[in-house]
């Protein structure tokens, strides 16, 4: 996972995942405008694969100030077989559990797209 302040051009009121299945077995995910504390310490993410799901759990190491800022986070999932998948982002920051973005994608062929919800 890599993270940075957003530069994607996506409006800040949208929470989005841009995805690309670029070569057999490689899925690139770009979480745009992920909301975290403006002084987060370290941002972390973990990718878990089940039979038909890609589950990404994101969190921050500390809550350094009383504000929330958008960040862009990137993930590279290797050795993912073609198939139909449910993509699910979970935010476990702020001492809670937020369901986050969820959508289905067909990765039987090279594909790219973007899924957004109001943040």
Q: Quick count: other Cβ atoms within 10 Å of Cβ 75?
A: 20
The count of domains in the chain is 1
Q: Which residues of 91-106 are buried (b: 16+ CB within 10 A; e: fewer)?
A: bebeeeeeebbeeebe
Residue 113 lies in a domain: no
Prediction pTM value? 0.85
Q: What is the mean pLDDT of residues 89-99?
A: 72
Q: Quick check: helix, strand or coil at residue 100?
A: coil
Instruction: Evaluate whether residue 115 is within a structural domain.
Output: no
* Residue-range definition of the domain harbouring residue 84: 2-105
Q: Is the pLDDT of residue 52 over 80?
A: yes
Residue 18 pLDDT class (50, 70, 90 cuts): very high
Residue 119 lies in a domain: no
Looking at the domain assignment, is residue 110 inside a domain? Answer: no
Yes or no: say if 73 and 3 are a contact pair by the CB < 8 Å rule.
yes
Q: For the purposes of burial, counting CB atoms within 10 Å of the CB of 56, is it exposed (0-12), middle (13-18) or buried (19 or more)?
A: buried
Q: Kindly indicate the confidence band of residue 118, based on its pLDDT and cuts at 50, 70 and 90.
A: confident
């Amino acid at each position: 996972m890599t993270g940075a302040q957003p530069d994607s051009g996506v409006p800040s009121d949208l929470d989005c995942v841009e995805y690309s299945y670029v070569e057999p077995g490689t899925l690139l995910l770009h979480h745009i405008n992920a909301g975290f504390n403006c002084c987060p310490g370290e941002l972390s993410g973990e990718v878990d694969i089940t039979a038909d799901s890609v589950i990404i759990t994101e969190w921050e190491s500390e809550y350094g100030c009383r504000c929330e800022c958008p960040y862009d986070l990137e993930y590279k999932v290797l050795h993912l077989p073609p198939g139909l998948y449910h993509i699910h982002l979970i935010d476990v920051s702020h001492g809670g559990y937020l369901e986050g973005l969820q959508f289905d994608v067909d990765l039987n062929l090279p594909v790219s797209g973007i899924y957004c919800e109001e943040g």
